[in-house]
């Protein structure tokens, strides 16, 4: 698959040394970590801007989280997209017209495989290779240490012009600790290991977590399990997947296109939901304690349906576990055989010293546009976003920005410095006008319109002015 | 010129509805991995058939996987009386993204404008604009002068009829020219208006090389318009004197396609 081509690939004559081990200089090549959606977009856009790229992927195929064969993949058999096609696809590689509005996860994998083949990205990916360490070298370049996945084989270190980290943030399960969890005799699992409703058939199931995954699993349990409880910390706004006859996100973007102020959009959305979905508290759900758009949107048409049919019982947060039951904050006990924690994921960069990304004591990185660390202009993180729409359009333009930025650093140091000092002032900004809830779930929550407008501004600043003037002068 | 427009609210909030499309293909006998697939886009009123006459087979014979798409409402694609330029460009990008590898887009006439719009949505390997009609009121003026009664209805939302002497050079036998002219249909009235309004296409994504070819004896595209389009993409047009507007159907169809394929072998890669 990936075979060394040409003489310059890993030329041993350019060997440097670090801690008594050889470092192979890859000169102007950029290293990309991960060949999931974000990694592939990074490879493609860096190539398009003329960079050589080495991409390291620990698995033996592309697709990252969307490849159900990967042991870190969180998808379950029925996973469908929650954003409709125009928000899901890369802006320069549309999904086929024949696909439904909300594709299945297997379609998404084949989409990524076709993307990689179409743009000839596979020769740049080193499969079955995991990144062990990323350390700054003397100047602004980086030493990347890799080895075969699984830990056997020797480690090798290469020096790169820049590094783009695209290792995903939906693979390290976040499992809450509860008192009495050890003595609980039922089965507990994190949503990441849930794959199929067969596992729930004929059992009494408690699903913990009101995110999109929690709601999906609750809906699956409703048709498979004998009884389903769905525990949420607060009331959420449950958006149906279709509103006014169109995919909901497309309706919402019509309002955003009109540049209605946030307050008015929130009022309109709440009003529309009230008219179509109705009063959620009728179904036993708590009233949302926040306005629409202040938590990550939950797109699920079936949850309300099952609540209305009594096949899902809404319950409040879990207080503690007992031997044979789970105690809730309202004092009720539910006797569940299976507890599924759909409690989300945490980002993890085990190959990087935490201070490089400016991480605080909770491990939350501080970055400009959730991509650029303040102290390291040649390091970037791609796809570390929780948009209120699909991720791919955002990560596409984000990686275009990374490529343009690296190009500009190479060509025009003065303009690059001006951009960087402006950008440093915006490090840690949130790109979301709504006051989103402060939880790990919402660390990277961005409004796609706010975020893309800022990306547009940054891209314009970095646009190759020299190339454009040369063209118009001709 | 701004770098690239990434706020595409219209594409998000109001995506182009799908339509059945005709795609004609000629595959080379020996596949050459080094040569990109080529997607031909016909101009207004023409269908994929216009390329199937000569150019598709010729490109395949030279080792290129060659495809021609009929945008909606053209050729054997689904009828689309209300289609816009955006819908035509959508059809082109859809077919390009379906090909196994990064494709070259070749557009003719107003199809060149469709390709120019498609280049802003799909990072093509290269773009070729043949006898490009980028529109504007000048195009209407010239068409009225050359063919008053064929053009006049179009100015009022009716159909545009192009005469065979507008489309072909003198060398093409009269019977053949008549036959081709009979097959020429028309684009949607909305798209014809958009052509007159001449909204300039956005900047191409991925910075592909772009070649402009044409003929100084074109009775649809004046020489000045040809130069203007070529300048836009930073070059000069490649000219084939003595030919009519329909380069791919005229008697000497082989010269421009050979020049295009030569360019692809040399620069387009």
Give tens-digit pLDDT for B17-49.
Answer: 999 999 999 999 887 788 999 999 999 999 999
How close A113 gets to chain B, by Cα (Å)? Answer: 11
Enter the CATH code of domain B16-29+36-266.
Answer: 3.40.50.1820
Question: Which secondary-structure segment (H or E) carries A125?
Answer: strand A125-127
Cβ separation of A257 and B2 shorter than 8 Å? no
- Burial class from Cβ neighbours inside 10 Å (0-12, 13-18, 19+) for residue A194 reads buried
- Chain B residues touching A92 at Cβ < 8 A: 121-123, 205-206
Higher pLDDT, A216 or A474: A216
Q: List, edge to edge, every strand of the sheet that includes A15-18.
A: A15-18, A21-25, A156-160, A142-148, A129-136
Q: Does B33 touch chain A (CB under 8 A)?
A: no
ipTM of the complex: 0.92
When pLDDT is averaged across residues A320-332 and rounded to a whole number, the result is 95
> How far from chain centre, in Å, is Cα A28?
28
How close B204 gets to chain A, by Cα (Å)? Answer: 11
> How far from chain centre, in Å, is Cα B70?
10
The answer to which of A62-66, A292-296, A338-342, B70-74 has the lowest mean pLDDT is A292-296
Cβ separation of A256 and B9 shorter than 8 Å? yes
Measured in degrees and rounded to the nearest 5, phi and psi for residue A295 equal -125, 165
Q: What is the pLDDT of residue B147?
A: 73
**pLDDT by residue (tens digit) across A406-443?**
999 988 889 999 999 998 888 877 777 777 777 777 88
When pLDDT is averaged across residues B239-253 and rounded to a whole number, the result is 94
How close A334 gets to chain B, by Cα (Å)? Answer: 44
Domain segments of chain B as ranges: 16-29+36-266
Helices (H), A277-391: 302-308
From the list A459, A472, A474, the residue facing B4 with the nearest CB is A459
Contact criterion met (CB below 8 Å) for B195 and B151: no
Separation between Cα atoms, residue A134 and residue A119, nearest integer Å: 27
How close B55 gets to chain A, by Cα (Å)? Answer: 24
Enter the CATH code of domain A175-343.
Answer: 3.50.50.60
Q: Which residues contact B148 (CB under 8 A, 6 or more apart)?
A: none
Q: What is the pLDDT of residue A469?
A: 39
Q: Does A212 touch chain B (CB under 8 A)?
A: no
Cβ separation of A253 and B123 shorter than 8 Å? no
Separation between Cα atoms, residue A92 and residue B216, nearest integer Å: 35
CA neighbor of A53 nearest in space, from A25, A27, A36, A32: A32
Cβ separation of B12 and A92 shorter than 8 Å? no
How close A376 gets to chain B, by Cα (Å)? Answer: 25
If you measure CA to CA, which chain B residue comes closest to A455?
Answer: B6
Where in chain A is CATH 3.50.50.60? 12-171+346-473, 175-343
Contact criterion met (CB below 8 Å) for A45 and B205: no
Band (pLDDT 50/70/90 cuts) for residue A467 is very low
Cβ separation of B1 and A472 shorter than 8 Å? yes
Contact criterion met (CB below 8 Å) for A314 and A329: no
Q: Which residues contact A173 (CB under 8 A, 6 or more apart)?
A: A190, A191, A192, A341, A343, A344, A345, A346
Q: Quick one: what percent of chain A has pLDDT higher than 90?
A: 61
Contact criterion met (CB below 8 Å) for B131 and B220: yes
Separation between Cα atoms, residue A426 and residue A374, nearest integer Å: 10
**pLDDT by residue (tens digit) across B99-121?**
999 999 999 999 999 999 999 99
Cβ separation of A93 and B102 shorter than 8 Å? no
- Chain A residues touching B93 at Cβ < 8 A: 94
If you measure CA to CA, which chain A residue comes closest to B3?
Answer: A463
Q: What is the pLDDT of residue B71?
A: 97
> pLDDT averaged over chain B?
90
Q: Does A459 touch chain B (CB under 8 A)?
A: yes
Structural tokens at position A442: 């919402």
The yes-or-no verdict on residue B152 having pLDDT over 90 is no
Give A 260-319 residues with CB within 8 A of chain B: none
Q: What is the DSSP string of A401-459?
A: HHHHHHHHHHH-HHHHHHHHHHHHHTTT----SS----SGGGTTEE-HHHHHHHHHHHH
Measured in degrees and rounded to the nearest 5, phi and psi for residue B138 equal -60, -40
**pLDDT by residue (tens digit) across A204-223?**
999 999 899 999 999 999 99
Q: Does B188 touch chain A (CB under 8 A)?
A: no
Separation between Cα atoms, residue A44 and residue A30, nearest integer Å: 12
Cβ separation of B1 and A468 shorter than 8 Å? yes
Structural tokens at position B149: 């009664």
Q: Does A93 touch chain B (CB under 8 A)?
A: yes
Q: Does A258 touch chain B (CB under 8 A)?
A: no
How close A356 gets to chain B, by Cα (Å)? Answer: 30
> Cβ–Cβ contacts within 10 Å for residue B214, how many?
29
Q: What is the DSSP string of B237-261?
A: -EE-TT--S-TTTSTTTHHHHHHHH
Contact criterion met (CB below 8 Å) for B243 and B215: yes
Contact criterion met (CB below 8 Å) for A351 and A220: no
Q: What is the pLDDT of residue A5?
A: 43
What are the helix and strand counts (H, E) for chain A?
11, 28
- Burial class from Cβ neighbours inside 10 Å (0-12, 13-18, 19+) for residue A396 reads buried
**pLDDT by residue (tens digit) across B181-234?**
889 888 898 898 888 887 889 999 999 999 999 999 988 888 999 999 999 998
From the list A253, A456, A468, the residue facing B6 with the nearest CB is A456
Separation between Cα atoms, residue A169 and residue A64, nearest integer Å: 11
Q: Does B236 touch chain A (CB under 8 A)?
A: no
CA torsion, points A92, A96, A101, A103, in degrees to nearest 10?
-100
Q: Which fold has domain A12-171+346-473?
A: FAD/NAD(P)-binding domain (3.50.50)
How close B242 gets to chain A, by Cα (Å)? Answer: 28
Q: Which residues contact B265 (CB under 8 A, 6 or more apart)?
A: B35
Provide the CB-side half-sphere exposure for B46 (13 A, CA). 28
CA neighbor of A93 nearest in space, from A79, A111, A72: A111
How close A88 gets to chain B, by Cα (Å)? Answer: 10
From the list A91, A96, A119, the residue facing B98 with the nearest CB is A96
- Burial class from Cβ neighbours inside 10 Å (0-12, 13-18, 19+) for residue A427 reads middle
Q: What is the pLDDT of residue A14?
A: 57
When pLDDT is averaged across residues B73-83 and rounded to a whole number, the result is 94
- Chain B residues touching A253 at Cβ < 8 A: 9, 12-13
The yes-or-no verdict on residue A369 having pLDDT over 70 is yes
Q: Which residues contact B63 (CB under 8 A, 6 or more apart)?
A: B28, B30, B31, B32, B35
Cβ separation of A93 and B97 shorter than 8 Å? yes
Q: What is the pLDDT of residue B157?
A: 63
SS3 A274: helix
When pLDDT is averaged across residues B135-158 and rounded to a whole number, the result is 72
Separation between Cα atoms, residue B86 and residue A103, nearest integer Å: 24
Band (pLDDT 50/70/90 cuts) for residue A259 is confident
Provide the CB-side half-sphere exposure for B23 (13 A, CA). 18
The yes-or-no verdict on residue A2 having pLDDT over 60 is no
Contact criterion met (CB below 8 Å) for B192 and B104: no
Contact criterion met (CB below 8 Å) for A326 and A333: yes
Band (pLDDT 50/70/90 cuts) for residue B3 is low
Tokens 């060997």, located at residue: A15
Measured in degrees and rounded to the nearest 5, phi and psi for residue A81 equal -65, 150
> How far from chain centre, in Å, is Cα B251?
19
CA neighbor of B77 nearest in space, from B24, B20, B115: B20
Q: Quick one: what percent of chain B has pLDDT higher than 90?
A: 67
How close B36 gets to chain A, by Cα (Å)? Answer: 11
Question: Which secondary-structure segment (H or E) carries A298?
Answer: strand A298-299
- Chain A residues touching B208 at Cβ < 8 A: none
Contact criterion met (CB below 8 Å) for A31 and A10: no
Count A/B contacts: CB-CB distance under 8 Å: 85
If you measure CA to CA, which chain A residue comes closest to B100?
Answer: A118
Separation between Cα atoms, residue B175 and residue B179, nearest integer Å: 6
Q: Does B12 touch chain A (CB under 8 A)?
A: yes
CA atoms B6, B10, B14, B20: torsion sign: negative
Q: Does B200 touch chain A (CB under 8 A)?
A: no
How close A96 gets to chain B, by Cα (Å)? Answer: 7
SS3 A65: helix
Band (pLDDT 50/70/90 cuts) for residue A464 is low
If you measure CA to CA, which chain B residue comes closest to A114?
Answer: B100
> pLDDT averaged over chain A?
89
If you measure CA to CA, which chain B residue comes closest to A448?
Answer: B7
From the list A92, A120, A400, the residue facing B101 with the nearest CB is A120
Pairing between β-strand B210-214 and β-strand B126-130 as defined by DSSP bridges: parallel
When pLDDT is averaged across residues A28-40 and rounded to a whole number, the result is 97
Higher pLDDT, B137 or A205: A205
From the list B2, B93, B206, the residue facing A94 with the nearest CB is B93
Mutation pick from B2, B5, B13, B235 vs chain A, by most beta carbons of A within 10 Å, is B13
* Rounded (5°) CA angle B148-B152-B153: 140
Distance set, CA A455 to CA A257, A361, A380, A401, A449 (Å)? 17, 28, 14, 8, 10
Band (pLDDT 50/70/90 cuts) for residue B159 is low
Q: What is the pLDDT of residue A12?
A: 52
Band (pLDDT 50/70/90 cuts) for residue A7 is very low
Q: Quick one: what percent of chain B has pLDDT higher than 70?
A: 94
């Amino acid at each position: 698959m990936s075979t060394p081509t040409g003489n310059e690939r890993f030329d041993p004559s350019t060997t440097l040394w670090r801690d008594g081990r050889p470092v192979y200089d890859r000169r102007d090549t950029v290293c990309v970590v991960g060949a999931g959606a974000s990694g592939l977009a990074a490879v493609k856009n860096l190539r398009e801007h003329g960079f050589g790229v080495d991409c390291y992927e620990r698995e033996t195929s592309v697709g990252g989280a969307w490849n159900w064969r990967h042991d870190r993949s969180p998808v379950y058999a029925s996973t469908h997209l929650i954003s409709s096609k125009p928000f899901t696809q890369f802006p320069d590689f549309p999904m086929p017209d024949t696909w439904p509005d909300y594709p299945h996860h297997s379609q998404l994998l084949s989409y990524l495989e076709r993307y990689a083949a179409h743009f000839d990205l596979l020769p740049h990916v080193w499969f079955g290779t995991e990144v062990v360490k990323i350390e700054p070298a003397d100047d602004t370049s980086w030493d990347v240490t890799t080895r075969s996945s699984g830990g056997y084989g020797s480690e090798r270190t290469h020096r790169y012009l820049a590094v783009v980290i695209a290792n995903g943030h939906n693979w390290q399960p976040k499992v809450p600790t509860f008192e009495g969890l050890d003595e609980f005799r039922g089965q507990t699992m994190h949503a990441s290991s849930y794959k199929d409703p067969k596992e729930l058939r004929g059992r009494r199931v408690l699903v913990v977590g009101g995110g999109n995954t929690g709601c999906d699993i609750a809906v699956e349990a409703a048709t498979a399990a004998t009884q389903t409880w769905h525990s949420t910390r607060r009331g959420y706004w449950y958006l149906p997947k279709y509103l006014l006859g169109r995919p909901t996100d497309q309706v919402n973007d019509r309002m955003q296109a009109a540049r209605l102020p946030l307050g008015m959009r929130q009022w309109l959305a709440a009003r529309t939901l009230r008219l179509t979905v109705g009063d959620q508290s009728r179904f036993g759900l708590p009233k949302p304690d926040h306005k629409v758009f202040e938590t990550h949107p939950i797109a699920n048409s079936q949850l309300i349906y099952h609540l209305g049919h009594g096949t899902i019982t809404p319950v409040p947060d879990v207080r503690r576990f007992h031997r044979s039951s789970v105690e809730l904050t309202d004092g009720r006990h539910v006797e569940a055989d299976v507890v599924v924690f759909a409690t989300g994921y945490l980002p993890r960069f085990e190959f990087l010293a935490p201070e490089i990304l400016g991480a605080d004591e909770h491990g939350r990185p501080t970055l400009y546009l959730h991509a650029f660390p303040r102290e390291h202009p040649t390091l970037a993180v791609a796809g570390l976003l929780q948009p209120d729409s699909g991720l791919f359009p955002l990560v596409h333009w984000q990686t275009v920005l990374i490529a343009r930025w690296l190009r500009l650093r190479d060509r025009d140091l003065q303009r690059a410095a001006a951009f960087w000092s402006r950008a440093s002032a915006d490090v840690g900004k949130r790109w979301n006008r709504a006051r989103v809830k402060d939880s790990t779930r919402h660390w990277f929550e961005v409004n796609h319109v706010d975020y893309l407008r800022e990306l547009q501004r940054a891209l314009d600043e970095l646009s190759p002015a020299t190339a454009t003037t040369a063209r118009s002068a001709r | 010129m701004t770098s690239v427009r990434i706020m595409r609210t219209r594409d998000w909030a109001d995506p182009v509805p799908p339509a059945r499309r005709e795609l004609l293909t000629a595959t080379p006998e020996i596949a050459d991995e080094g040569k990109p697939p080529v997607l031909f886009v016909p101009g207004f009123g023409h269908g994929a058939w216009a390329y199937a006459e000569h150019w598709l087979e010729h490109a395949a014979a030279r080792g290129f996987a060659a495809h021609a798409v009929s945008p909606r409402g053209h050729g054997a694609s689904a009828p689309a009386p209300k289609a816009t330029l955006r819908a035509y460009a959508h059809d082109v990008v859809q077919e390009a993204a379906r090909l196994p590898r990064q494709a070259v887009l070749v557009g003719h006439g107003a199809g060149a404008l469709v390709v120019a719009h498609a280049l802003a949505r799909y990072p093509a390997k290269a773009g070729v604009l043949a006898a490009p009609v980028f529109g504007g009121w000048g195009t209407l003026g010239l068409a009225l002068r050359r063919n008053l009664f064929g053009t006049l209805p179009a100015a009022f939302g009716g159909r545009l009829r192009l005469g065979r002497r507008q489309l072909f050079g003198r060398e093409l036998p009269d019977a053949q020219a008549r036959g081709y002219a009979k097959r020429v249909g028309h684009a949607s009235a909305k798209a014809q208006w958009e052509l007159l309004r001449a909204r300039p296409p956005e900047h191409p994504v991925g910075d592909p090389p772009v070649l402009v070819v044409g003929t100084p004896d074109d009775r649809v595209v004046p020489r000045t318009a040809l130069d203007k389009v070529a300048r836009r993409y930073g070059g000069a047009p490649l000219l084939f004197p003595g030919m009519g507007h329909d380069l791919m159907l005229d008697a000497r169809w082989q010269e421009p396609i050979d020049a295009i394929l030569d360019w692809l072998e040399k620069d387009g890669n």
